[in-house]
Structure 1
């Protein structure tokens, strides 16, 4: 039985196809709970644009500036351009490559070489030997094309496309992070301003109390110890002012860095901080995270790219077919260069190449592609789980902070009234000076805690917007 070359190539391909190692495939789990706290409302604040979600003009101006000037964001944009060029490069791999070659050279054979000895017996023109040195002139168009039989090159291009889309989602995710970071820093700045203003008012109260205690001491109603205690409390709070001022400076500079400018004052409406209202939060349903969260979409694009990488790696086990050809003019003398058809040069060839010896390297690449795909599955599932947990945490945080704020407001009101009561009792010798000091200290701490709670409330407003995937669109 006789086999022609095509039959042999066919059986050869079947043999090595059967030797492709099997892989353990893992699929991603996309299921999420049906609702947050049994709510089926699909209204979602992630669809609200950030300029509408944050209605503070100073804050919106800071965010808008950051989205134009932030260096980290601009770096990511350049990485997107790199990914886009990678797609172009991959597309060129499976298209024919055509170039033009022009060359000129001299060649002299040694007399006692094989070709040189043959020249003795060759006549180009009767009575003349082969010219020495021998010139060679060439101009030709050449083409080469690897036929993408197994879609290896196309899958590589598709993988590059998914990585480009992944970089786009990475940019969107960074936008949400920058918006959240600036908003949180802005509210922290407002909280520090309120703490500083509260501290100054408290220092005034304590200084008035100190003057009263000094008068009481002159009247021999209290000792020097009471005077020193009140004086120490005033000095402690005066020193505390500078700690807050330092934090204000650092927070302002953090905002300035995020928006890409050198340190300068940050405009804000701090006097309205405590009265800021927290609008009703609509979280929608968990399945909306798959469309709204850029990091989930980025992980999904990376997963799709990893799947295509496996297909491209698998194609390395199969034979590859490459076609080459060219046409042009070739002559040893310029006067004959464009003689047609005598000086015309053309060729056409096809190469069928199958890996035989170096299959371990191909297997290693194949296994690595599989491991990267499994890693991408785990990364996708982790990102999805993380997104759900972040939303659940922030929803609970908003509810708890609202109740805490209401109770702390009542606490501040009660302790503020107790300052006047304790001062009146002290003046009538019905309360000890330590009771006055402790009442003032408790009132100050409660006001600070109220400001911190309000800041936590506003941070929760920012964080739930980020957790739901708002801001980038």
Structure 2
């Protein structure tokens, strides 16, 4: 191929590609995405009107959970948790898939070089000359994206990537909430164990005094047996709580991607944060904040784009091909002779039994389903936030009432013990008041845990946790 021919060929190829790019930008079939209407109230039901300011969901988890040990556990979980790491690999997969899809918009260029030699034979004392052939060729194939098939496919792949990224954030949000919930449960069990141990010590002392009184004839043997029942009940409770503590430690260990083992403790249950009011922000902002809502919307974006992909099959597919090559029996002449060709092709579907029409119908139905899924997710998210806000408010009331109950039960237990020692009542009253106090104290622990769990749920429902 002469230099002049090379320049001419290059000019033809450049002109053809420029024309193809111009044609490809002409039209994109299929609908453009618009967000469907979503019903969002002006305020969340259950929100405290006095709770104003930045939404709790916008706060980083390190600010929401000030317990330093809990912060360390959350950070470790985010770094090592297997579900979080799997989510990160899915983002990498979606990124690679987007690159593959984008590549479909560009030409495919291939090159080939080959050579062959043949040694000549000897005939009648004369050797036939050795023959060598060298060949080099370049090929180009490009389906022009005239109807936007590949551009719509790229839109769908970009939405899939965004959906995967929001999916990763959803897992992070759930992970932060789960670690915090399990940690608070662990601290609640620690407090229950402390109460049971203290109660056992008190009941042991009461049993000792009852035995002394029985031996002195001041009280019947039945009182001793009743005191023994209280001691044995406390011991059984201690064993049960100790087993549950170890099981929660195991659950936390798995979240941290550790083998089951002990978990470090920080602040006590009663020292954990209990804000009087939680600002939820505006319901409309929840659509932008919650990862699961963004996931559902990106699914709808991708489904909408794939309608355009399906539509494009109804129109002609326009392709551009080009090839050029050189061949010579001498390396010296390899670049002085050659061939080239440029061509286009057009394929128009004529009859395919309704395949293309049904492709479009399928894509449209999938988009309609995705829209309904997103709208349902919005309503469910609004419900979860309202439920969590109501739960937090009511659990604060329960905890306050339970605290008063413990105060009353403590005083009742003290008075019953004084009456028994003074001979004014039977040991049955002491037994009853002791049992009531123990139940009230355990009930207070449960109320404190429920309040903290509601606090975590408000944070999760508002889409908090994926920013540190």
TM value normalised by structure 1: 0.84
CA distance in 2, matches of 1:104, 1:291: 61
Q: CA deviation at 1:49?
A: 1.3
Correspondences of 1:145-184 after superposition (within 5 Å) = 145-184=142-181
2:213 aligned residue:
216
Residue 415 (structure 2) pairs with residue 421 (structure 1): yes
CA distance in 1, matches of 2:146, 2:108: 17
Structure 1 residues 237-287: Cα deviation after superposition (integer angstroms, max 9, x where no partner): 2022111111111111211211222233222235x3224441131111111
| Partner SS state of residue 140, structure 1 | strand
Residue 37 (structure 2) pairs with residue 29 (structure 1): yes
Residue 319 (structure 2) pairs with residue 311 (structure 1): no
Q: CA deviation at 1:396?
A: 0.6
2:430 aligned residue:
436
Structure 1 residues 426-448: Cα deviation after superposition (integer angstroms, max 9, x where no partner): 12222122221111111111100
| Partner SS state of residue 239, structure 1 | helix
CA distance in 2, matches of 1:228, 1:360: 87
- Assess if the C-alpha contact under 8 Å between 1:137 and 1:337 holds in 2: no
- Out of 417-426 and 260-269, give the one that drifted further: 260-269
Residue 46 (structure 2) pairs with residue 46 (structure 1): no
Correspondences of 1:24-423 after superposition (within 5 Å) = 28-37=36-45, 39=49, 41=52, 43-103=54-114, 138-270=135-267, 272-279=268-275, 280-330=277-327, 333=329, 338=334, 340-341=336-337, 344-423=338-417
Residue 453 (structure 2) pairs with residue 459 (structure 1): yes
- Assess if the C-alpha contact under 8 Å between 1:412 and 1:443 holds in 2: yes
CA distance in 2, matches of 1:254, 1:181: 10
Cα 1:335–1:143, aligned 2, differ >3 Å: closer, same or farther?
Answer: same
CA distance in 2, matches of 1:311, 1:263: 51
- Assess if the C-alpha contact under 8 Å between 2:65 and 2:273 holds in 1: no
CA distance in 1, matches of 2:66, 2:99: 42
Unmatched 5+ stretches in structure 2: 1-28, 119-127
Structure 1 residues 321-349: Cα deviation after superposition (integer angstroms, max 9, x where no partner): 01111111135x457962633xx121222
CA distance in 2, matches of 1:372, 1:85: 24
Unmatched 5+ stretches in structure 1: 1-19, 108-130
Cα 1:276–1:385, aligned 2, differ >3 Å: closer, same or farther?
Answer: same
CA distance in 2, matches of 1:42, 1:200: 43
TM value normalised by structure 2: 0.85
Structure 1 residues 393-451: Cα deviation after superposition (integer angstroms, max 9, x where no partner): 11111111111111110100111111111111112222122221111111111100100
- Assess if the C-alpha contact under 8 Å between 2:67 and 2:272 holds in 1: no
- Assess if the C-alpha contact under 8 Å between 1:42 and 1:285 holds in 2: no
Cα 1:106–1:44, aligned 2, differ >3 Å: closer, same or farther?
Answer: same
Structure 1 residues 149-204: Cα deviation after superposition (integer angstroms, max 9, x where no partner): 10001100111001101111111111111110001111111100000000011111
